[in-house]
Structure 1
Amino acid sequence: MIVVTRLNDSQFAINPDLIERIHASPDTTLVMVDGAKFIVTESLEDVIEKIARFRAHVISLAYLTEDSQYSSGARTLEIVGGPHAIAHVIEPGSTVPSRPRRI
């Protein structure tokens, strides 16, 4: 989540993955994938920087180990087995078989 400021100076957190586009004419407007619009005081460049820092933070958390001083006891990332797991690995350069088309 990133924290942005409304025109009345109240702050709120928003999921940057749900932002469809950002307009800056003249106020910065966040247009969400569901069509909701939020006008914020931050500039277009500031919002983009907040999104980049948020994503970098998420990636850095994925690389932390349990030995790290920053570890919060979260599990490390791993491949999950079960019915949705990949049954085999496709070798580089090989083709992936396609399903027959229904006409």
Structure 2
Amino acid sequence: MIQLTKLNGKVFSLNALYIEVIESFPDTTITLTNGHKYVVKEPEQEVIDKMTLFYRNINVLSVSKGSEVLEHE
């Protein structure tokens, strides 16, 4: 789970495994795989950073000794 902030200031947790699309309109809008949308205060890159940390914490993205990490372009 990642913690995000709604535009009204309310903090909530979101399961990052269900995030399908992140867009800036300019507000950051997150679309889940089920079609639900959330508009949050955090910038798009911050959401991506939180997702990456979450994925690493649950070993979806892991770094082994001697392995290379591919960066998102």
Unmatched segments (≥5 aa) in structure 2:
60-73
Q: How far did residue 4 of structure 1 move?
A: 0.4
Q: Distance in 2 between matches of 1:58 and 1:17?
A: 10
Q: How far did residue 31 of structure 1 move?
A: 0.5
Q: Distance in 1 between matches of 2:39 and 2:28?
A: 6
Q: How far did residue 57 of structure 1 move?
A: 1.3
Q: How far did residue 46 of structure 1 move?
A: 0.1
Name which structure has the greater RCO, CA cutoff 8 Å, separation 6+.
2
Q: How far did residue 25 of structure 1 move?
A: 1.5
Q: Distance in 2 between matches of 1:33 and 1:21?
A: 8
Q: Distance in 2 between matches of 1:56 and 1:35?
A: 25
The structure with more strand, counted as a fraction of residues? 2
Unmatched segments (≥5 aa) in structure 1:
60-103
Larger radius of gyration: 1
What residue number does 1:44 align with? 44
Q: Pairwise CA RMSD of aligned residues?
A: 0.7
TM-score normalised according to structure 1 size: 0.56
Structure 1 residue ranges, 4+ long, deviating more than 2 angstroms after superposition: none
What residue number does 1:35 align with? 35
TM-score normalised according to structure 2 size: 0.77
